[in-house]
Amino acid sequence: MFFDYFRRNLDCRGVQPNDAHKKLAEMERRGKLDGVITQNIDGLHQKAGSRNVWEIHGSALRSYCVSCHAEYGKDYVFENAEEIPHCPKCGKMVRPDVTLYGELLPQRAYEEAVALIRYADLLVIGGTSLEVGSAAQLAHMYHGKYLVIINKGRTKMEGKADLVFHDSISKVLNTIQI
Ligand SMILES: [Zn+2]
C-alpha cells in the first residue's frame, strides 16, 4: 500500500522549481543566504541551484536498502517492476529515503539545520503554520536578530517576528532586489 501510494503521489522527478526556489538559489550564489532547511522531499531547491540544503524529512529522489544500506538513485523505487522493490546486493527491501510519521529525523540534516539556525542573524520562515513538528521545534531554537515570516495563513511565531507577510512565498521573494 505504501509503495503504491508513494509511486502515485510522490513522483516529483518531472516537477520544476518555482520562482521562490530560484530566488533562494540566486541569493545563495550571491552570498546573501547561508542555507535552506526544508521539510519538502521533492529536491526542488537543489534543482534550482541551491547548494547548502538540509532536507529534514529526507528526499523522494533517493532510496536505500534497509539492511545493507546500499544507496539507489531517484528512479529505483519509481521504475521497479516489483511491488516492493528489493536490493540486488542482499535481497532486502529498498525504501525511499523519506522520514515517515513516527520515525526519527535524519541525524546529519537535523544537526546541520540546528547549527544553521543557531548561528543565523536573520531567519526567514516560509510556508508553514509552525503548529507542530520538526519545523516548529527548529524555529524555537532561533535566537538571532531578525525574524521574517511568509505564510498565507497565520503562524504561531508571528508575535516574535519583525516582518510578517500573509502571501505566497514566490510573490514576496520576487519583490526582493539582490
Ligand atoms: Zn541490501
In the prediction, which pLDDT does 88 show?
96
**Catalytic (active-site) positions:** 57
Percentage of residues of the chain with pLDDT beyond 90: 89
CA 107 to ligand 1 center in whole angstroms:
21
Q: DSSP secondary-structure letter at 88?
A: T
Rounded mean pLDDT, 58-75:
96
State how far the alpha carbon of 147 is from the alpha carbons of 14, 77, 95, 160, 166, in Å. Answer: 33, 39, 37, 7, 14
Confidence of residue 47 (pLDDT cuts 50, 70, 90): very high
Rounded mean pLDDT, 137-160:
93
CA 5 to ligand 1 center in whole angstroms:
23
For residue 20, the one-letter residue type is A
Domains in the chain: boundaries: 18-57+105-174
Confidence of residue 101 (pLDDT cuts 50, 70, 90): confident
* Average pLDDT of the chain, as a whole number: 95
In the prediction, which pLDDT does 128 show?
85
CA 57 to ligand 1 center in whole angstroms:
22
Maximum separation of any 2 CA atoms in the chain, in Å = 53
Q: How many of the other CB atoms lie within 10 Å of CB of 11?
A: 15
In the prediction, which pLDDT does 81 show?
92
Q: If one looks up domain 18-57+105-174 in CATH, what number appears?
A: 3.40.50.1220
In the prediction, which pLDDT does 134 show?
85
Rounded mean pLDDT, 135-159:
93
Burial of 31 from C-beta contacts in 10 A (0-12 / 13-18 / 19+):
exposed
Q: Which residues of 134-163 are buried (b: 16+ CB within 10 A; e: fewer)?
A: bbbebbeebeeeebebbbeeebbbeeebee
pLDDT > 80? residue 80: yes
pLDDT > 90? residue 129: no
In the prediction, which pLDDT does 156 show?
84
pLDDT > 90? residue 113: yes
CA 92 to ligand 1 center in whole angstroms:
5
pLDDT > 80? residue 57: yes
CA 84 to ligand 1 center in whole angstroms:
13
pLDDT > 90? residue 60: yes
pLDDT > 90? residue 63: yes
pLDDT > 80? residue 132: no
